Structure 1
Amino acid sequence: MTGIPKPGDGGLNRDDLVSTGKPSLGDLAVVSRLVREFVKFVLDTRAAWHAGEKGARDPLAMIEAEARQLGDIFLGRDVRFDAQPWNTDNRLGMVMRVLLPDETKHYGDPGAAPFMWLAAQAAEAAAFIEQGSDEVEARERLDRIVTDVTERLLGTRY
């Protein structure tokens, strides 16, 4: 059959994974850690703001800066990571434009969009718990969201 990408021709998301010894954006552990650390950052920043800590006077700006940095990583614009063929504006960026059109338009970057969306989900989970709702339920829902975002960033789910 012609037209079907074959392993090794760069046509499939996980083909031709490149390694230069840096953390790979094709590695589940690396991607999961980055996503989970972002969620922790959002929750910690929100808690610091609620506590009135000096360093958290503008939490949204802090979260957006972190989201933009992660967006740069996942769109292959950060040399500290092994970007894969999937980690481009034309591949992952296009998926994010379709999945998160409002966030992409608002933040002007398909890389920052999933992280700002994820930040909103994390803040929503924290508020749900603070209002006396079931913490286990909130954590389970947020964990499913984190898993979904991780899979989409890896290109294993569209």
Structure 2
Amino acid sequence: MDATEATVRQFCKFVFDIRADFHAGIGPRAPIPLIETEARRVSAIITPTISKRSWYGLWHVLKELTAECNGDPVVAALLYLANQCTTAGDALNSGEDEADVRRRLDACVRDVAKRMV
């Protein structure tokens, strides 16, 4: 696993931790701003290492979300991934097979990390 993928996986862990705390009633009342702030922090780490081709590729794939993220496609990709983490958590809570959910989310994480090279 390369450094970018490790950073992306740490971001996913952050999202899952914030979500778990929120649902347990011990976390912040508004977790979304914290996740957005973390996405911007992680973007500041990843963006200097990303190629221009990948940066524009992310922008092209996530045009609308990038526009909502002040033109930062790395933040957009991370927020897309946060949404996938939330969807995976909901799938687990509804009784879907953990191995299947994990496989789908892992494929998504690897894809996003690969696009940030």
Query: Which TM-score applies when normalising by structure 2?
Result: 0.91
Higher helix share: 2
Match status 1:61 vs 2:24: no
Query: Structure 1: which 5+ runs fail to align?
Result: 1-27, 77-82
Match status 1:140 vs 2:103: yes
Partner residue in 1 for 2:86? 123
Query: Structure 2: which 5+ runs fail to align?
Result: none
Higher RCO structure (Cα 8 Å, ≥6 apart): 2
Given that 1:75 and 1:92 are in contact with CA atoms closer than 8 Å, whether structure 2 keeps it comes out as no
SS in 2 for 1:112: helix
Query: Which TM-score applies when normalising by structure 1?
Result: 0.69
Runs of 4+ in 1 over 6 A off after TM superposition: none
Given that 2:55 and 2:116 are in contact with CA atoms closer than 8 Å, whether structure 1 keeps it comes out as no
Q: 1:20-35 to 2 correspondence within 5 Å?
A: 28-35=1-8
Aligned Cα RMSD in Å? 1.4
Which protein is bigger by CA-based radius of gyration?
Answer: 1
Counterpart amino acid of residue 121 in structure 1: Q
d(CA) in 2 for partners of 1:60, 1:95 = 26
What number of residue pairs does the alignment pair up?
A: 116
Identity of aligned residues (%): 36
Q: Deviations over 1:57-90 (max 9, x none)?
A: 22101110011111222221xxxxxx36x1xxx4
d(CA) in 2 for partners of 1:112, 1:56 = 21
User: How far apart are residue 111 of structure 1 and its match?
Assistant: 2.1
User: How far apart are residue 56 of structure 1 and its match?
Assistant: 2.2
